[in-house]
Amino acid sequence: MDAVENSFDIAIVGGGIVGAATAYRLQEAYPDLRLVLLEKMPKLADHQTGNNSGVMHSGIYYKPGSLKAKNCVQGRKELVEFAKKHKVAHDVCGKVIVATEPEEIPRLEGIFERGKANGIENLQIIGPDEIREIEPHCRGLQAIHVGCTGIIDFRGATEAMAEAIQSIQAKSEVRCSTEVLGIHQDGNLRVLETNGGSIKAKHVVFCAGLQSDRLAKKDGIKNSMRIVGFRGDYYDLTEKGLHKVKHLIYPVPDPAFPFLGVHFTRMALGGVECGPNAVFTFKREGYGKTDFDLKDTVEALGFSGTWRLFFKHWKFGLDEYRRAFSKRLFLKTLQRLIPDLEMDDITPGRAGVRAMALGADGEMIDDFEIAYSEGSIHVLNAPSPAATSALAIGSQIRDMARTHFNLVTQ
């Protein structure tokens, strides 16, 4: 390709849903600009986006006033409208968050109050009989019915956003199998060295997920946080067990741990998944139980924050590892919500990897984190519910780009 073909106004690095939504919002606002969306994998949404549980979260769990809460509530509504317009598979089917032990009820009520504070619509506290009406095989003392929670094909949504970019501006491009290996400045242009040659852009937005800290370092960003990967394994319900889940069933999360717990999810493209657990992975992009990468392992275990996290949650981590290698233990956890679930109702499914941003103190960085360099914006951390929130996050990054890149409103 010649120099003109490899020159763009803005490059967006990372073809997950946050990168695609950011490119889409930028292209909407600046239709005359030529954008390029770069993804190192052969297709878009091939890591966190395409391997999560497929849930459009309501925003009920998050601290009122936080970016996570605001972006999730707004982003969910925008995502539903986008899915309707672009014919992306989805269903606003609702879910139940179920307390199975008396000590969980105060936490459940606290979640309900938080949901009301976040402006979540269609919330209701329900009892055992109403739980059975919604989910006949589920047993609980009390639950929150969250009517606005839904499911969606996040891969399909990402691909639709990429198509929408090119429908607005035919000269914009989506390039897969294009990995950014280096970054430098050439006059007024940023130069991205890739496995497919040099790409020049006036400005760059990095939405690199599991590789966000590494690309920031390549761009001269000094930051004490580190991305540490956690794998989540899923089971699928077999044909025999499929009728036992109608919608979405979640436990009451334990606030001491940074995960929502093992849950049941009806998928937008069919089937029901159970999971995930959460175990440290020895390869950032490793989806198998025995996957290993020396560089990833040395970096993670050489970081003080990783060990502080391990020491703080050693019992939780040990339980998760035991469950990762034991179908019987995984089933036992699932039976807290559906007591009549049996061993032949579940079969091993896929896995996903979550990018957890950790500080040197071992604390999880729980909200949106952005860093800037000359001509670049780096999304260092966009934690769950980033997929649900993607269009709202994209709007926020667009507004940051307007200021940081001195873009002229069109």
* Cα→Cα distances 17→266, 297, 389, Å: 21, 27, 9
- Mean pLDDT across the chain, nearest whole number? 93
Model confidence at 1, pLDDT cuts 50, 70, 90, reads very low
CATH number of 228-360: 3.30.9.10
pLDDT tens digits for 99-112?
Answer: 999 999 999 999 99
The pLDDT of 196-221, averaged and rounded, is 95
Strands (E), 34-101: 35-38, 55-56, 90-91, 95-99
Instruction: Tell me the per-residue pLDDT of 134-193, one tens digit each, with 9 for 90 and over.
Output: 999 999 999 999 999 999 999 999 999 999 999 999 999 999 999 999 999 999 999 999
Chain segment 365-383, per-residue pLDDT in tens: 887 888 898 889 999 998 8
Show the CA angle centred on residue 35, arms to residues 88 and 77, nearest 5°: 35
Of residues 129 and 321, more confidently modeled? 129
CATH class of 7-49+155-225+366-404: alpha beta
| Residue 273 confidence (pLDDT) | 96
**Average pLDDT of the residues in 287-304:** 93
- For the chain, the structural domain boundaries read 7-49+155-225+366-404, 95-147, 228-360
C-alpha span between 175 and 89 (Å, rounded)? 24
Instruction: Give Cα separations from 298 to 33, 119, 283, 352 (angstroms).
Output: 41, 44, 10, 21
**Cα(26)–Cα(118) distance, integer angstroms:** 27
Give the residue among 64, 7, 6, 14 at the shortest CA–CA distance from 215. 14
pLDDT tens-digit profile of 309-358? Answer: 888 886 777 777 788 788 999 999 999 999 999 999 999 999 999 888 99
Radius of gyration, CA atoms only, the chain: 21
> What is the pLDDT at residue 311?
87
Q: What is the pLDDT of residue 73?
A: 96
As a whole number of angstroms, the distance between CA 366 and CA 385 comes to: 11
Tell me the mean pLDDT in the region 250-262. 81
Beta partners for residue 124, in sequence order: 145
Burial class (CB in 10 A: 0-12, 13-18, 19+), 340: exposed
